[in-house]
Amino acid sequence: MYKIKSRIWIETDQGMFLGNGRVQLLKAIEETGSLTKAAKSLKMSYKKAWNLIDSVNKNAAEEVVSTNVGGKAGGGAIVTDYGKNLIQKFDELNEETIEFLNEKNFE
């Protein structure tokens, strides 16, 4: 028996907005409170992580990740409520897609 697999992502007119990798990065930022730590946990360069988050923020209707520059008190990053909502919606859409495909037979 065969299984049908798929990946989903969301695009804007400017290109990629949200996909599994970006959502994983957002979740890692939520867990660590830091873009640097999130990137390290995903074995990703800081530059790549910054570029991904910058792209998400620029293409979103509202700020998804808010960052604070380091210094005496240290920096940090938080996923905004809007960003948390995007993560939840993406995960729901992804799960619904998987369930739909699991119901299909390919022989």
Domain 20-63+75-99, CATH number (from 3.40.50.460, 3.30.420.40, 1.10.10.10, 3.30.930.10): 1.10.10.10
Tens-digit pLDDT profile for residues 44-94: 999 999 999 999 999 999 999 998 776 555 678 999 999 999 999 999 999
CB hemisphere CA count around 31 (13 angstroms): 12
Residue 105 has pLDDT above 80, yes or no: no
What pLDDT score does 103 carry?
A: 85
Give this prediction's pTM.
0.88
Q: Which amino acid is at 98?
A: I
| Domain regions of the chain by residue span | 20-63+75-99
pLDDT of 18-45, one tens digit each?
999 999 999 999 999 999 999 999 999 9
Enclosing H/E stretch for 83? helix 81-102
Instruction: Please give the helix or strand (H or E) that residue 4 lies within, else none.
Output: none
